[in-house]
Amino acid sequence: MSEEFSAGWLALREPFDRVARSRRLAARLAAALPARPRLMDLGAGTASLFRFLAPIIGRAQAWTIVDADAELLGHAFARTADWAEAHGYRITTPGRALLIHTPGGAWRIEALATDFGDDPSRLPFGAHDAVVCSALMDLVSPAWAERLAGSLRMPFLAWLNVDGRDRFRPAHPDDRLVARGFARDMRRDKGLGRAMGTDAPATLTRLFAARGFTVATAPSDWIIPPIAAPMLEAMVRGHAAAAANALPAATARIAAWEQHRLGALARGRLALTIGHRDLLALPAET
Ligand SMILES: C[S@@+](CC[C@H](N)C(=O)[O-])C[C@H]1O[C@@H](n2cnc3c(N)ncnc32)[C@H](O)[C@@H]1O
């Protein structure tokens, strides 16, 4: 893994992720699963996806959360335990698992700290009824995604894949320059080959459809209003840094764009949409 994600960033984005995620696809996945489903979450980070999806599935369930970053997995347990208690659920910690005792049954979480490496097929998919991930597939290469698709015989739901429909409002003449640099930077190798970036939704659709899966997608955009200053600031600074990294000759223009955007943000005059798509792939027999 060459790219690190801070627990602070994952916490900042979690409320935007929760609102953006497609509940229609979540319900379709939940309906396709057995009575006590076992799910594997790839690149789970702090388990934000568990906190969204487990209540929608509702019944007894067991999750394996997988990530190369053991520290993030530690945050995943701590945050999820706090979240469960805030919802009035009793928790226990048998062995290395976290068990959340809900009226619909127990929700079990175990962690697997491992780097995916080049070959996702070595992961224990066979012990699971579904594989899910969030904000991961735009970081991986088409070849990695192809090996993943070739390894799965169960439902797959990839949430929050960037699709490039980002829009800062009001418009600025250098938005396209920054967008071009940002998109180019997204394709950098993040440790799993040259990343798919904004091609992820279309490439995943093609890969899974070619293997007989029924594929459905839904928009899951972040809608970031002027009042969400910390998130807007993170996005402005992140876009500018990524664009300058990809387009070093345009550093001065990008820095001017960043200052203009931060000024608008300070005056409460900036809003942003970040385009994402969620994708559900169901195998033929589901
Ligand atoms: C953008 S974060 C998304 C985290 C989480 N799914 C969420 O939605 O909040 C990507 C996650 O993938 C993990 N990751 C990236 N490359 C990895 C690799 N090669 N092996 C295992 N995990 C990896 C990172 O540590 C990080 O937690």
Query: Closest ligand 1 atom, CA of 2?
Result: 16
CB 208 within 8 A of CB 281: yes
Query: Closest ligand 1 atom, CA of 190?
Result: 16
Q: Is the pLDDT of residue 11 over 70?
A: yes
Residue nearest to atom 11 of ligand 1 (CA): 43
115 lines ligand 1 (CB under 6 A): yes
Q: What does the pLDDT look like over 100-122, one tens digit per residue?
A: 999 999 999 999 999 999 889 99
> For the chain, give me the number of helices (H) and strands (E)?
9, 12
189 lines ligand 1 (CB under 6 A): no
**179 domain residue, yes or no:** no
Q: Is 254 exposed, middle or buried (0-12, 13-18, 19+ CB in 10 A)?
A: buried
The upper half-sphere exposure of residue 262, i.e. CA atoms within 13 Å in the direction of its Cβ, equals: 13
- CA 51 from centroid of its chain's CA atoms: 13
The count of structural domains within the chain is 1
Query: Of 62-66, 83-87, 184-188, 269-273, where does mean pLDDT reach its minimum?
Result: 184-188
Tell me the three state secondary structure of residue 209. helix
**95 domain residue, yes or no:** yes
**226 domain residue, yes or no:** no
Whole-structure pTM value:
0.96
Residue 281 CA to ligand 1 center (angstroms) comes to: 20
CB 123 within 8 A of CB 132: no
Of all helices (H) and strands (E), which one includes residue 40?
strand 38-42
Residue nearest to atom 19 of ligand 1 (CA): 1
Cα separation, 120 vs 277, in Å, equals 22
Q: Which domain holds residue 156?
A: 7-164+191-221+276-282
Residue 2 CA to ligand 1 center (angstroms) comes to: 11
Strand partners for 168 = 272
% of the chain with per-residue pLDDT over 70: 99
**230 domain residue, yes or no:** no
Average pLDDT value for residue range 185-201: 92
**25 domain residue, yes or no:** yes
Average pLDDT value for residue range 190-216: 95
Residue 43 CA to ligand 1 center (angstroms) comes to: 4
Q: Domain containing 158 — which CATH number? A: 3.40.50.150
Query: Closest ligand 1 atom, CA of 116?
Result: 20
pLDDT range class, residue 1, cuts 50, 70, 90: low
Residue 260 CA to ligand 1 center (angstroms) comes to: 32
Strand partners for 42 = 66, 133
**13 domain residue, yes or no:** yes
CB 130 within 8 A of CB 165: no
**260 domain residue, yes or no:** no
Tell me the three state secondary structure of residue 191. coil
**171 domain residue, yes or no:** no
Query: Of 64-73, 181-190, 228-237, where does mean pLDDT reach its minimum?
Result: 181-190
